[in-house]
Amino acid sequence: MIYYTDCDLETERVGAALADMLERDGVRRGFIAMRGEMGVGKTAFTRGFASHFGIKGVKSPTYTVVNEYSGRARIYHFDMYRITDGDDLYSIGYDDYVDSEGYIIAEWSENIEDFIPEGAIYVTISRMPEGDTKRKIEIEYGRRA
């Protein structure tokens, strides 16, 4: 699925739409691997996703690596910007999060490519040449080749 947005609120809405689809399908857990350059809207998307479950005030976990939220679903919001290898992941207890009940949303998942679980949903956000606020959001199910 491909969406185009023109402001952060529209990107939030796409995140909320994905959450709604998963909830309707009875999917209560899952790994959402976010890709895209700095400031492209990964946190905005996550904010929208979380808002669908009644969670407000999602902020970038840059300095904490992971923020945990609990609403109608549990959400673990990771920022892998500073994660460079498996040891870093191990030290934050990543494996336990992956096994836990709830959704994981990981920004900068490019940095943990080898550790993304099978069946993850990939969300890739990119800038469009048409304007400063134009974004393309691509949602793909399952591991990429």
Ligand X SMILES: Nc1ncnc2c1ncn2[C@@H]1O[C@H](COP(=O)(O)OP(=O)(O)OP(=O)(O)O)[C@@H](O)[C@H]1O
CA–CA distances in Å: residue 138 to residues 1, 79, 110:
6, 19, 15
Alpha helices in 25-121 (DSSP H): 42-51, 86-91, 94-99
Q: Which two tokens stand for residue 25?
A: 């399908």
Using CB under 6 A as the binding rule, whether residue 6 contacts ligand X is answered as yes
Cβ closest to ligand X, residue 26 vs residue 57: 57
Q: Which of 26, 38, 87, 114 binds ligand X (CB under 6 A)?
A: 38
Q: Which of 41, 52, 65, 106 binds ligand X (CB under 6 A)?
A: 41
- Of 6-14, 64-72, 86-94, 97-105, the window that binds ligand X (rule: CB under 6 A) is 6-14
Using alpha carbons only, give the angle 18, 22, 26 rounded to the nearest 5 degrees: 165
**Beta strand pairing call for 103-107 and 74-79:** parallel
Using CB under 6 A as the binding rule, whether residue 126 contacts ligand X is answered as no
- Of 1-9, 23-31, 69-77, 84-92, the window that binds ligand X (rule: CB under 6 A) is 1-9
Using CB under 5 A as the binding rule, whether residue 77 contacts Mg ion is answered as no
CA torsion sign, 108 to 24 to 96 to 69? Answer: positive
Name the residue whose CB lies closest to ligand X: 41
Q: Least separation, in Å, of the C-beta of 38 and Mg ion?
A: 8
Edge-to-edge strands, sheet with 135-141: 2-5, 135-141, 121-127, 30-35, 103-107, 74-79, 66-70
Interaction residues for ligand X, span 82-121 (CB under 6 A): 107
Which residues contribute to the site for ligand X (CB under 6 A)? 5-8, 10-11, 36, 38-44, 60, 107, 133, 135
